[in-house]
Amino acid sequence: DGGITQSPKYLFRKEGQNVTLSCEQNLNHDAMYWYRQDPGQGLRLIYYSQIVNDFQKGDIAEGYSVSREKKESFPLTVTSAQKNPTAFYLCASSWGAPSNQPQHFGDGTRLSIL
C-alpha cells in the first residue's frame, strides 16, 4: 500500500541531545513537509522540500534541520537549540503540480523531554 511512514511513534529526548525523526513515502510525491502541532493548536510549518537536495524554511525552522538526499525520504532533526521540542510532529507529502493535489500525512511522532 502507498503511504507515508513516520518513525518512531514516540520519542524521548534528553537535555542537550539531538534527535532525528524519520519520514519515508512511497507515493512518488515530489514535495515533502514537516509540521509541528502543539496541544490544542493548529499545524505550523517547520520545513518543506520541493525536490531532492533542496528545501526551504517554514514558519518555525529555528532549532530544526532537514535533509532531502532521496525523493522518498525527508528526515527531521530536532537539535539541542530547540528549547521547547515537546510536541506532535507530522510529516506530509504531495505532488508539486498541479496545485490542486491534497497532502497525504503520516501517523505522526510524539516527542517529549526526559
Partner 1 sequence: AQKVTQAQTEISVVEKEDVTLDCVYETRDTTYYLFWYKQPPSGELVFLIRRNSFDEQNEISGRYSWNFQKSTSSFNFTITASQVVDSAVYFCALRTSGTYKYIFGTGTRLKVLA
Other C-beta atoms lying within 10 Å of the C-beta of residue 29: 20
Footprint (CB under 8 A) of partner 1, residues 53-82: 58
Matching residue, cell 530547540: 82
Nearer to partner 1, 13 or 104 (CB): 104
Q: Which of 19, 31, 78, 87 binds partner 1 (CB under 8 A)?
A: 31
Nearer to partner 1, 80 or 103 (CB): 103
Binding site for partner 1 (CB under 8 A): 31, 33, 40-43, 45, 48, 50, 58, 88, 90, 92, 94, 96, 98-100, 102-108
